[in-house]
Amino acid sequence: MVLTAAECLRELESRKIEQLRLAWCDLHGRWHAKTLLPRAWPRALAEGVRAASSLALKDSSGRTALPVFDAERMAHEFPQLTDFAMVGDMLWRPDLSAPPLVPDPVHTPHVAFLPCTAQDARTGAALALDPQHILAGSLERLRQAGYGLRVGLEVEFHVWSVARPPDPADQAAWPGGAPEANALGLLHPGHQLLSDRNAWVCQRLFDRIASITAALGLPLASLEIEMGPSQFELVLDAQDAAEAARSLALLRGLVPPLLAREAWFSSFICRPPWEGVMASGWHVHHCWVDRASGRNVFADAQGLSPLAGQVIAGELAHAPAMTTLAVPTLNGYERFRAAALSPQRNLWGRDNRGAMLRVLDAERGVSLDATRIEHRLPEPLANPWLVLAALAAAGLDGVERSLMPPPPCESPYAEGALITQEAADALADFRASPFIERTFGPIFVEAWSALVTSALRRHAEAVDRADGEGARRAASRNWQRREYLL
């Protein structure tokens, strides 16, 4: 059901909302927001609100990565992005497909949150750098082929205790905008996967996360103790791909600040830059469904369907090109280590957590309706709209070209192409891929390349190659803490 602006306004008034936060997600999956008071609501709901278009060009530090106030240089170095020169406006359009959310009805029942999509303020066309628009394009191509994409999410993250809620003005507690390791306390000691004892110890945290996700309307299925110290996992039931992307963006954007109110510091960074931690992943369980019947087309009477094999082949074929989208941070590449419960090679198998794609089907006792592929490449900070857009397009390419997958691999020691180990190499694969150009368009390719290049350059400037290995490692961790931890 899609609300009209008038219906949304009545909903806000009936719930006694006093502040409406309109928010848009950038290419990193980070929310930017404007908080509007009631007098501004009618116009904003009907016409949208304007925001600086440079928000679409922020690098992972929050800085504008391009010389947007130098039109001549923009035209020369970034010809696809000249519309962003001199920082004109984009237009945020509220998504009225669902009522506004009240993320924290206990502590702030008067504040509502309403996601937006982005348009070009001059033409009214969808902004080429709007992640939601990009996913919608991939899903439309899948729809035209007669299919839909269903996605279930498993995402790992860390939560620590702090002495008191964070105060940005308290630089002793929060130097550089993020805490030092010695300012945090472990909620559980780790290395005891699914420990029931640790679950009871963390019950207050579980209760708070359950209340937040319920307020956000997220289909939370389980809360789990992960392997690493103070590491947890959330599992969301399967949803249509666009809903799943929105769910992860809301989870990642709103859970940490709401937990911070109660002296918990949380982060979805892949590998916190401290000793003794375990890297976190985001596992994308997905299947295709027939648009007419809703039937899972990854399964047939014999088990895994031939179409599922073609999807697997497409995802394997385009994995190098999409790695920079699935692992957008430099920190995320620290996950690909032996014996780290992370994928190592660009392979597929059943119950093989060393392969990039893990298939759950009848051969492993899974029902036909639940047959699915678990894509294990992404890190938790990956933009969900971009990852799912790439997955949908890669699978469809495999079907359209009738690609055949290699035999399944069940050995962690099997030969096969390693998953790309460096951010610079992943970006090179991305830029060289005709598939990426077709799927995302030249504007996105140029923008994403500039954002990743900015991070690579700034990291190189922060780490002096003349220093010893220990000093270089410490400098890199300090940079990552400033860049990604919050």
Least confident among 58-62, 110-114, 117-121, 407-411: 407-411
pLDDT at residue 230 above 80?
yes
Give me the pLDDT at residue 10, please.
96
Q: Stretch 436-460: mean pLDDT, rounded?
A: 97
DSSP class of residue 412 equals T
Residue with token string 């009522």? 99
Question: For the sheet containing 49-52, what is the strand order?
Answer: 31-36, 19-25, 111-120, 89-94, 49-52
178 close to 486: Cβ distance less than 8 angstroms: yes
pLDDT at 164: 53
Counting residues of the chain whose pLDDT is more than 90, the rounded percentage is 81
Residue 313's pLDDT is 98
Distance between CA 33 and CA 41 in Å, rounded? 14
* H-state helical runs in 327-433: 384-400, 423-431
Torsion angle of alpha carbons 55, 56, 61, 63, nearest 10°?
A: -60
Asked if 307 contacts 318 with a C-beta cutoff of 8 angstroms, the reply is no
Confidence of residue 168 (pLDDT cuts 50, 70, 90): very low
Residue 175 — pLDDT band, cuts 50, 70, 90?
Answer: very low
pTM: 0.95
pLDDT digits (tens, 9 = 90+) for 373-382: 999 999 999 9
Q: What's the pLDDT at 173?
A: 43
What is the distance between the alpha carbons of residues 197 and 341, in angstroms, rounded to a whole number?
22
CA 25 to chain centre: 10
- What's the pLDDT tens digit per position in 1-10? 789 999 999 9
pLDDT top residue among 281 and 261: 281
Please report the DSSP string for 238-253 in residue order.
Answer: EEEHHHHHHHHHHHHH
Of 270, 278, 28, 289, nearest to 152 by C-alpha is 289
- What digits encode the pLDDT tens for the residues 241-251? 999 999 999 99
pLDDT digits (tens, 9 = 90+) for 48-99: 999 999 999 999 999 999 999 999 999 999 999 999 999 999 999 999 999 9
Q: Specify the pLDDT at position 357.
A: 96
Range in 270-274, 381-385, 388-392 the model is least confident about = 270-274
CB within 8 A of 458, min separation 6: which ones? 59, 61, 479
Q: Flag whether pLDDT at 171 surpasses 50.
A: no
Q: Average pLDDT, whole number, for the chain? A: 92
- Output 292 or 413, whichever has higher pLDDT: 292
Write out pLDDT tens, residues 129-144: 999 999 999 999 999 9
Q: Enumerate domains of the chain plus CATH numbers.
A: 5-127 (3.10.20.70), 142-484 (3.30.590.10)
User: On the CB side of 16, how many CA atoms lie within 13 Å of its CA?
Assistant: 4
Q: What is the pLDDT of residues 391-445, one digit of tens each?
A: 999 999 999 999 999 999 887 666 778 899 999 999 999 999 999 999 999 999 9
Mean pLDDT of 90-117: 96
More confident residue, 180 or 370: 370
Residues in the chain: 486
Is residue 364 very low, low, confident or very high in pLDDT (cuts 50, 70, 90)?
Answer: confident
CA distances in angstroms from 20 to 40, 92, 268, listed in the order given: 9, 14, 26
